[in-house]
């Protein structure tokens, strides 16, 4: 009986820590298989949602029993942000009518609490340096598994579960094509890449702290996985954050080694190299001499990054309508296919029917009216943001700059967190969220300057990993990507709570003198 009571007391003391350890493994490794789909969206209820509810209940009970500590200053900042989010929801749904489906607005609001809750759970379980090193050891083990599984997807056909579109989000088990970008155990290549760039500077921080080659090996494996994921924005964010980190720490030789390793590994992914070199493309734009309409001839291939059409209508006053059409055979062929598709679509909408001969003649007639001009255009990814996603978010922001148009009003994605925050939760919610992030980083920075240099490497690694993530968030919705958001708030809680345990008393005394 005594042994049983002792075991129960041990479980009571360590239950939250056990749940955090389970969280470290569950979130990155368990695929995003839906338990239940939600109407009018492809965001689903999944296993991790039930796990977080259980963690929240346990945390609440332990809080009522006064078994946990709370960073009250941070808690009230979080609470103010959550209130601002729900105020935006109420305004958007009941007054502004920009949220059409109430349960989506409510769920988008609740999931922000769900993502951020783990910050407090992780915080309260950190009681010593030992807890910090235990968590980081497990996190690095998971990073190794995630990275190696990505190699398995690329070279051995290991399955993937993605949520990159509504059909995939139903939980299909996919085998990626040879040209596909890996997602490993994540929902897509974007959040996998962001997860890696958040952790890579921390891995290098541990390498500098210990001198152990296993950390450098983990870095190289992670870098290879980042390259195979083929996210251009994440790759650029990695180059910047890692370079500045090592320059700041005055590790110039290591920087050279890492840049050489990056240069060697980057050609592993034709997809990434293609996206980097085709960000802006010299493109033939066709201008209809009668209607003035423009189009870009595109032959859409799954492994290609076609040009967009942002800016095709600018500076066309110098087009010579009498100039003969001169294009290469391949471009002409693709242009005619595009014209045919447009004519067929228009015919379907109007009910008009073409015979084969009529459609061929119509295509030739329209093609002969085209005037090709050369322009440099951004790729279709950038064009979509410049023409659709970002203007839509800004328009939502202007409807109510203080509260925005409400959570879910911009759909599942905006292709950039900052405009999404402004569009959905306005200046109030955005400002509070940025204050939370800034407060966490400044608190850690305040303690880092009081640490011995060997420990400072680790904590600066987290700060620069965050900078990489922040750069990446300008182009991709990251803080709404569940796996990445969970891991960020977990790490933020761990580093925020741990930093005080690494402060050097000697440095404090020196500063006092």
**170-214 residue pLDDT tens:** 888 988 887 889 999 998 889 999 999 999 999 999 999 999 999
Closest Cα to residue 261, out of 224, 212, 298?
Answer: 224
Closest Cα to residue 223, out of 169, 281, 262, 272?
Answer: 262
Residues listed for the chain = 513
The Cβ of residue 411 has, within 10 Å, a number of other Cβ atoms equal to 11
Place of tokens 């608190």: 443
Do the Cβ atoms of 407 and 92 come closer than 8 Å?
A: yes
pTM above 0.75, yes or no: yes
Q: What is the pLDDT of residues 385-438, one digit of tens each?
A: 888 889 999 999 999 999 999 998 988 778 889 999 999 999 999 999 999 999
Look at residue 323 and tell me whether its pLDDT is greater than 80. Answer: no
Q: Cα Rg for the chain, rounded, in angstroms? A: 26
Q: Could you tell me the CA-to-CA distances from 402 to 84, 88, 105, 427 in Å, in that order?
A: 10, 9, 18, 5
Q: What is the pLDDT of residues 263-316, one digit of tens each?
A: 999 988 877 777 777 777 777 777 877 777 777 777 665 555 566 565 556 555
| All structural domains of the chain with their residue ranges | 2-272+392-512, 280-378
Look at residue 218 and tell me whether its pLDDT is greater than 50. Answer: yes
- Alpha-carbon distance of 204 to 126, in angstroms, equals 22
Place of tokens 């200053």: 73
For residue 154, give the H/E element and its range. Answer: helix 129-156
Q: Which parts of 225-313 are beta strand (E)? A: 280-288, 294-296
């Amino acid at each position: 009986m005594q042994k049983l009571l002792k075991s129960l007391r041990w479980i009571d003391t360590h239950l939250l820590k056990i749940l955090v350890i389970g969280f470290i493994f569950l979130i990155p490794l368990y695929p995003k298989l839906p338990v239940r789909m939600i109407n009018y969206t492809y965001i689903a209820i999944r296993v991790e949602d039930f796990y977080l509810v259980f963690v929240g209940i346990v945390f609440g009970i332990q809080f009522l029993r006064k078994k946990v500590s709370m960073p009250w200053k941070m808690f009230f900042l979080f609470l103010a942000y959550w209130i601002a989010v729900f105020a935006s929801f109420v305004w958007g749904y009941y007054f502004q009518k920009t949220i059409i489906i109430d349960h989506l607005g409510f769920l988008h609001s609740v999931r922000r609490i769900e993502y951020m809750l783990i910050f407090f759970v992780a915080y309260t379980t950190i009681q010593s340096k030992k807890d910090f090193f235990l968590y980081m050891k497990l996190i690095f083990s998971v990073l190794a598994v995630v990275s190696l599984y990505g190699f398995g997807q690329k070279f051995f056909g290991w399955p993937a579960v993605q949520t990159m579109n509504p059909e995939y989000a139903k939980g299909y088990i996919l085998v990626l094509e040879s040209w596909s970008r890996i997602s490993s155990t994540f929902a897509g290549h974007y959040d996998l890449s962001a997860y890696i760039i958040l952790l890579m500077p921390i891995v290098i921080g541990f390498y500098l702290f210990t001198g152990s080659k296993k950390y450098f090996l983990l870095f190289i494996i992670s870098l290879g996985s980042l390259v195979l994921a083929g996210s251009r924005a994440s790759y650029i964010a990695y180059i910047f954050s890692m370079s500045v980190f090592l320059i700041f720490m005055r590790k110039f030789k290591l920087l050279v080694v890492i840049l050489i390793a990056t240069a060697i590994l980057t050609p592993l992914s034709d997809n990434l190299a293609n996206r980097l070199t085709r960000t802006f493309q010299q493109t033939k734009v066709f201008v209809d001499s009668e209607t003035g309409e423009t189009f870009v001839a595109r032959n859409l291939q799954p492994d290609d990054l076609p040009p967009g059409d942002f800016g095709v209508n600018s500076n066309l006053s110098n087009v010579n309508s009498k100039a003969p059409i001169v294009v290469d055979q391949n471009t002409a062929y693709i242009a005619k296919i595009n014209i045919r598709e447009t004519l067929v679509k228009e015919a379907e909408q109007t009910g008009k029917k073409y015979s084969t001969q009529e459609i061929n003649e119509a295509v030739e007639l329209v093609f002969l009216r085209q005037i090709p001009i050369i322009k440099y255009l951004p790729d279709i990814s950038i064009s979509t943001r410049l023409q659709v996603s970002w203007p839509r978010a800004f328009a939502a922001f202007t409807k109510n700059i203080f509260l925005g148009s409400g959570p879910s009003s911009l759909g599942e994605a905006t292709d950039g967190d900052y405009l999404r925050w402004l569009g959905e939760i306005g200046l109030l919610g955005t400002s509070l969220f940025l204050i939370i992030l800034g407060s966490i980083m400044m608190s850690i920075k305040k303690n880092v300057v009081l640490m011995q240099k060997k420990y400072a490497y680790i904590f600066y690694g987290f700060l620069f990993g965050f900078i990489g993530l922040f750069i990446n968030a300008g182009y991709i919705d990251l803080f709404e990507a569940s796996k990445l958001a969970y891991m960020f708030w977990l790490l933020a809680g761990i580093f925020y709570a741990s930093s005080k345990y690494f402060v050097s008393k000697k440095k404090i005394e020196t500063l006092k003198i």
